[in-house]
Structure formats: structure tokens, C-alpha cells
Amino acid sequence: MIFRRVLDEISSNQGRRKEGKLNCIPWLDMPKFSTVIPGVQKEKYIEVSASPKVGKTKITDFMFVHQVMKFILSDKNTSNFKIKIPYFSLEVSKEQKIREVISYKLFEKGIELSPQNMLSLFNDYVLSDELKKNIESIEPYIEEFEKHVIYIDNIRNSYGIYKYVRDLCESLGKHYDKEGNIIELRSILNARENKDEKFLFKMDHFKYNDSEQYVEPITDHISLLNPQKDEGTVHNAINNFSNNHCLSMRDKYKCAVINIHQQVATQEELKYSNGKLLIDTLRPSVDGLADSKYTSKDVNILLSLFAPYRAKIPKYPIYDGYDINKLGDKYRELAIVLNRDGGSFINVDLLFNGATGHFKELPKPSEINYEALKF
């Protein structure tokens, strides 16, 4: 009975909180934002959107990879959460993603080194032996990191991504029928091979063997999906991926699904009315989603990242806001554009280090000391 399963979950979550345990993976370094969205939750579908080169991949990695790993590997993880993050990198190689992780971790040790400079590419720059030793010292962390985060750069179609995630989930849990009996995976695989829809219909719900298990697939970014023959266009590929596969990963396999969705380039074009800049037209929006805006009908939450410095806005927000001339391109606004579980367009102001992918919440404009501001 569905009601009984829902009630059991409500009671279980209540009991866990009374015991001091958590029911989601929190963002330790985002206290303001966490008062609105508490953290990474099962059965949620989130899109992150921004204009090109604003940092949509960086904020996704910060929130849904680095912050998650920081909690999972900390002694604060008293709930004993476990995580698997299959990360489908459609834009850069898995080697580049690891270089970005190295850069991120080095910065935590007070060393700022971009992924580009690691490769000694410039004529006037060679990586020092000391920096190389610092990189080598991170190897134990990277080994632990790769037990949880799996970078995949050779699967680029919607069904291939879904199948990888489905197989991963099924290696970590089991399907049950309406009576609560386990359905053997071997029988399911045979039914899929033989296209036995009648048998597959018996699958009522899925549970992980460990109730603390999280699976968080990330795709960066969905406009780079390769259309399958039955899809034809990128528009159709995105719609099929979102409406069929992402919802299945969320609803059937209880995944926290994270997709990066670029805004159209024209979203950053300056628009005026009676000589006044229309700032609201510059912010990422549902209408600005590239190639398909229909994903907004499927997601639980749509997050956006905005860089007012790119639009030469001197103060943001316009009244009593930050001095963007002083913050430059280090300022970012993280906003909730759409939230089916709560309020929308709630924003948090962030300081951004583009070279290393670090973010941190800013104090209020009235409380900020620009001269003393450091990462």
C-alpha cells in the first residue's frame, strides 16, 4: 500500500531527526542557502542554468560534488550516508575533471593553481617541483574521491546515460512487487531482453540494500547530448532524456538527478526601456533555457547563476546593493528560479574564484568590507 510506505518514511525521518541524524546531505559551507534548500535530497530533479562561461559547471561541482564529498568524508556524517556520483562530462575529458579536483583541493591548502598551469603549457611558466610535490600529496584523497565520484566521458546519448545509472542503482538495491516480494534481477534482465512488458509491470518499487545510499547522476551539459535515431534533434534528445529517463531515475530509483542546462547566448544581450537597463531580462530564466525549455516542467528545482559584471552593472542589486566595480567578476548571484516544494527567486550572494572553483557566501552589502575581503 502506497500510503503505508509514505507514512513509514515520514515516521522514519521524524525518528532520525529525534536521534540527531540527518535526512539529506547538507551544504556545510552554504548556511544561508541551506535555510531554503536543506541539501542534496533523494528523489529530486535539479537543473542548474547560466549563460556561457558564467560558472554553471563550477557551481554544480561545488555544491553537488565537493560539498557532498566534504560531508560524506567528515566526522559530521553521523548518519553514515553513502554516495555514488556518476558524472557524465559531455564537455571535457575525465582527466580534465580530475585536474579541476586537484586545483580545488590545493586551494584548501592555500595554494592557487589553475588546471591549465598544471600542464606547463605557457612559454614563460614551468610547474615547480614544490607544486608537483603538493599535487602528489593529494593522491590519497583522489583515490578516496574516485570511490564515490565516477567521471564518464564516453557516454553521450540519453538512453546510454539512463542505462548506466539504472544498472548502477540495481547493483545497489532490489526491485519489489506490490506484496513486498523481491523480484530477482536475473528475471528482470531476461524480461528486458525478451521485451516482456507484462512481467516488467510487476515491478512496484525499488529499494537500496542500504537505506543510507544516495545515487546522484550529474550531466554536463544536456545541450551536448547526441541525438539517437528515434530522437533526431537535440531538442528531442533533451525532452526524451528529461521527461522519460530523468524522471525514471528520480521516481523509480530515488536518485538526486542534477542536470546542467545552458542559457541561450541572447539572454545576456542588454535590453533597455526608456533608457533604463532591464536587469530582470538578463537573469537566467525558464524562457532562456537553450534548445528546450520543456525541462522546466519536469524539474523540482531550477537554480541559476548570474554575473552582473558581464553586463557592466555598477551596483547589484540596483538599490543598496554590492559595488560590482570593486567585486568585479568575482560576484555571482545564485537564485532559485523555480521550486515546486517552496518559494522561488530566493537568491544568495556569492564570492567566486574561477581558477579553483570555490564559492563562499557574502555578508550583506551594508556589512561588507571590500578591502578586507579575502577568499
278 confidence band (pLDDT: 50, 70, 90): low
DSSP-derived 3-state class of residue 285: coil
Per-residue pLDDT tens digits for 192-214: 999 999 999 999 999 999 999 99
- Return all residues near 366 (Cβ < 8 A) that are at least 6 apart: 320
Give residue 275's region: left, alpha or beta (phi > 0; psi -120 to 50): left
Measured distance CA(244)–CA(226) in Å, rounded: 16
What pLDDT does residue 276 have? 53
What pLDDT does residue 110 have? 94
- List the grid coordinates of 230: 528515434
* CA 34 to each of CA 26, 75, 114, 181: distance values in angstroms, whole numbers, following the listed order: 7, 19, 29, 38
What pLDDT does residue 373 have? 87
Share above pLDDT 90 across residues of the chain, in percent, rounded to a whole number: 84
pLDDT of 266 > 90? The answer is no
267 confidence band (pLDDT: 50, 70, 90): low
Per-residue pLDDT tens digits for 351-365: 999 999 999 999 999
Does a cis peptide bond (omega within 30 degrees of 0) precede residue 308?
Answer: no
Per-residue pLDDT tens digits for 54-104: 999 999 999 999 999 999 999 999 999 999 999 999 999 999 999 999 999
- List the grid coordinates of 237: 534528445
Q: Are strands 205-208 and 173-176 parallel, antiparallel or unpaired?
A: antiparallel
What pLDDT does residue 282 have? 85
Q: Which residue has the cell 529525534?
A: 18
